[in-house]
Structure 1
Amino acid sequence: MILFLDFDGVLHPEPCFDRTQFFCFLPKLEMVLHDFPSVKIVISSTWRENRSLHELRGFFSETIRHRIIGTTPHWRDCAELLEVIGFQRQTEIEAWLRNSPEPWESWIAIDDKSYLFRPFIPNLIKTASAIGFDEVAEMRLRTLLSIS
């Protein structure tokens, strides 16, 4: 299972004017991930656009960072696929999957912007931007990971 992870509105509120609040919900997400050790993580957040994979891994605990296997490409680099899919974040995910060694692997995305995905997509966990990864999102993630 691959988890495509957004940061803003998921791991901290968006907007987040207080830098000390960055990644304030990350411990809650990591608690879930500890219970599902086979889940791999791909960063789909816009933070990937100006930070290296090494820098992105640095936000996570030692026990989780090795499970971060990459970042999605930018939708502008997948223009032909975007024309077919029509939704930016989903295009980025599909492009990453198509270029991975196991393009058929199951996936879940956690994001606060559902308009970047096809409507009613069952493997999207939508968070509220101002709330982030809360108990509802945690329960949904645990449920989806348990049935995969």
Structure 2
Amino acid sequence: MHTDCYILLDFDGVLHPKDGGPETYFVDLPAFEAVLREFPGVAVVIASSWRHTQTLDALRSYFSSDLRARIVDVTPDIPQAAGDTDRGTRHKEAMAWLERNAEPGMTWIAVDDMPHLYDPSALVVVTRDGFGDAEANALRAALVNPLALMQQRQASNSNN
């Protein structure tokens, strides 16, 4: 598979409500998968904390069979130094994975409900406790024009 872009994907707060129980797990996965099917050159790397307790094959099993091959890996775990906050931790893990596995300059987009885990300059589709129509449209727009998402995020950061 030729890869045009990587999505660094969180689960909790993205594919299901953050504080929902097991009965809500992956309720929003069909909406995410619908977007993924529109962009065949996009691969997914799991950045979720679920990667700490499940194998890559187990994580793939949550996805529809036609998309499992596009779930290519998990980000590495980079331990925090004592006293560090979690600010930017997923960004560091994403960069470590990309440096080892992606072509230089490869486009990547994070889909996460906690944007503070990424550098302010990162392309992050921020979810609001699930992946609904707004998030699907934002991800589509970002995959078509990643620069527009980055400019929107930078404008948002400068207003805060």
- Give distance in 1, aligned partners of 2:123 and 2:117: 13
Counterpart of 1:73 (choices 72, 76, 86) is 76
1:76: Cα distance to partner? 1.1
Percent identity over the alignment is 39
Residue 12, structure 1, aligned to residue 16, structure 2: yes
What is the match of residue 141 of structure 1?
A: 139
- Give distance in 1, aligned partners of 2:104 and 2:122: 18
Q: Residue deviations 1:97-135, cap 9 Å, x none?
A: 01114242100000001111122x351011113xx1111
What is the match of residue 95 of structure 1?
A: 96
- Give distance in 2, aligned partners of 1:122 and 1:113: 12
Q: What residue identity is the alignment partner of 1:90? A: H
> How has the CA–CA distance of structure 1 residues 145 and 110 changed in structure 2, closer, same or farther, with 3 Å as cutoff?
same
What is the match of residue 2 of structure 1?
A: 6
- Give distance in 1, aligned partners of 2:27 and 2:61: 15
Runs of 4+ more than 2 Å apart: none
Residue 116, structure 1, aligned to residue 117, structure 2: yes
Q: What residue identity is the alignment partner of 1:126? A: V
The structure showing larger relative contact order (alpha-carbon pairs under 8 Å, at least 6 residues apart) is 1
Residue 107, structure 1, aligned to residue 111, structure 2: no
TM-score by length of structure 2 reads 0.81
TM-score by length of structure 1 reads 0.87
- Give distance in 1, aligned partners of 2:53 and 2:122: 30
Larger deviation, residues 96-105 vs 28-37: 96-105
- Give distance in 2, aligned partners of 1:51 and 1:39: 23
RMSD: 1.7
Q: Indicate the SS of the match to 1:63.
A: coil
Aligned residue pairs total 138
1:32: Cα distance to partner? 0.6
Counterparts of 1:24-103 in structure 2, within 5 Å, are 24-76=27-79, 87-103=88-104
Q: What residue identity is the alignment partner of 2:117? A: L
In the alignment, structure 1 segments of 5+ residues that lack a partner are none
